[in-house]
Structure 1
Amino acid sequence: MSIESRLADLGVSLPDAPAPAANYVPFVQVGDIVYVSGQISNGPDGLITGKLGADMEVEAGAAAAKTCAISLLAQVKAACGGDLERLVRVVKLTGFVNSIADFTNQPQVINGASDFLVEALGDAGRHSRSAVSAAALPLGVAVEIEGIFQIK
């Protein structure tokens, strides 16, 4: 089954790859590796903002992280000239969680992205990962995730 078919089965339609918000490129390809710039939590109703441990619960943060993963896949699709079947695997994610100083559930928040990628891509979605806290993120978003992907 194709990646796009699996996404459709999950009720996910990839948006157009978000444009960068400043002076950087959305992705860089070096050989068969694509480095995707940080994707912020953004859903159908706009930016998903909040601070974990203050005004946002872990479950809502995980849902925000899933939107980051969807944007990451949209960038990979753009890097692959529109052919997502060129994706070989997710190599690494680095997740940033907008949270209060004593919040310690960053891994559970970033699981929203990790779980989605494994569900959508199977073993190709399994990856190495970091999940860290941030005192603030751009535009007040709850989560930002950058990724490294292998393509063919």
Structure 2
Amino acid sequence: MTDRIIADRLEALGIVLPSASEPAAKYANYVIVNGLCFVSGKGPAGHPKGKLGQEFNTEEGYHFARQTGIEILAVLESALGSLDKVKRVVKIQGFVNADPLFEEHHKVLNGCSDLMLEVFGDKGSHARSVLGAVSVRDNLPVIIDSIFEVD
């Protein structure tokens, strides 16, 4: 049964996907167009509040980005019915709520990137950008949006 490969990998990694979170405002959680699934910006579970370089350090930011990746996977599974329908992770874009002197945005976003590689293997390799933000919604430490090629 090929539609259990990613579910089995998640289980082996000890990852249990939560229910897909709802959008924070009036927009779609995801949109699928021409074989691409665009997942709207997601933040970490538990809605921690604060900035990297102030309330949180890089290691904590990495953990938040990984949690956010799990939120993204939950939305994808809800949208597709199975994560085995993901052909490739195309792009990850992160917005790090950071102190102006914070310089390790790339290390924070590695939390999500590493997760995608662990879950999807070679199909998890992706293009990426990360930006420091003076503020983000709900004062979350990180928000990540993403694009996936899907069946």
- TM-score, with length taken from structure 2: 0.94
Instruction: Return structure 1 stretches of 4+ with deviation > 2 angstroms.
Output: none
Inter-partner Cα distance in structure 1 for 2:103 and 2:69: 21
List alignment gaps of at least 5 residues for structure 2.
none
Q: Secondary structure of the residue that 1:94 maps to in structure 2?
A: strand
In the alignment, what sits opposite 1:31?
A: 34
Task: Compute the RMSD of aligned alpha carbons.
Answer: 1.0
Whether 1:22 aligns to 2:21 is no
- TM-score, with length taken from structure 1: 0.94
> In structure 1, which of residues 9, 12, 26 is the aligned counterpart of residue 12 of structure 2?
9
In the alignment, what sits opposite 2:116?
A: 117
Inter-partner Cα distance in structure 2 for 1:48 and 1:5: 29
Q: Secondary structure of the residue that 2:120 maps to in structure 1?
A: helix
- 1:93 and 1:147 in contact (8 A); partners too: yes
Q: Percent identity?
A: 39
Inter-partner Cα distance in structure 2 for 1:151 and 1:78: 13
In the alignment, what sits opposite 1:58?
A: 58
